[in-house]
Structure 1
Amino acid sequence: MAPEAQRLDLNSATMEQLLSVRGFNKSVAEAIVKARPFKSVEDLTAKKIVSSDVLGPVKDQLIVR
């Protein structure tokens, strides 16, 4: 698991930062920006932005502050 300081905050990350996450394309990054604010990383699947299959491998790189 990435240290908290290195995790990407879904509520403040730039498009460029979001695109650096494996499995996130431009449409996913745009959907994340539009759906802010998030209460938890799991909101990505709850709001149907990404599937649990996409979120699973990268979940430990993300955080919500």
Structure 2
Amino acid sequence: MFTRRGKSTEGWALIGFGVLAFLFSVIALSGGFGPVPDDGRAGTLAYLGIPVGIAAIVVGIVGLRRDDRRAGD
């Protein structure tokens, strides 16, 4: 997808997405955007952003470690 000289940046992209999703959910659930709607897209994003964000961060870290191991061989 994205490439640097001999390495992939997919891990960094996933980590960035995960951080943004996590922060959006934390701000939304704390009332930063007003009351959290119980239905609709905004409510779904607010409630699912934390687990999706954490999963994206973990997958991004695993991807970076795999790239480092492949580069070392």
Q: TM-score normalized by structure 1?
A: 0.27
Higher helix share: 2
Q: TM-score normalized by structure 2?
A: 0.25
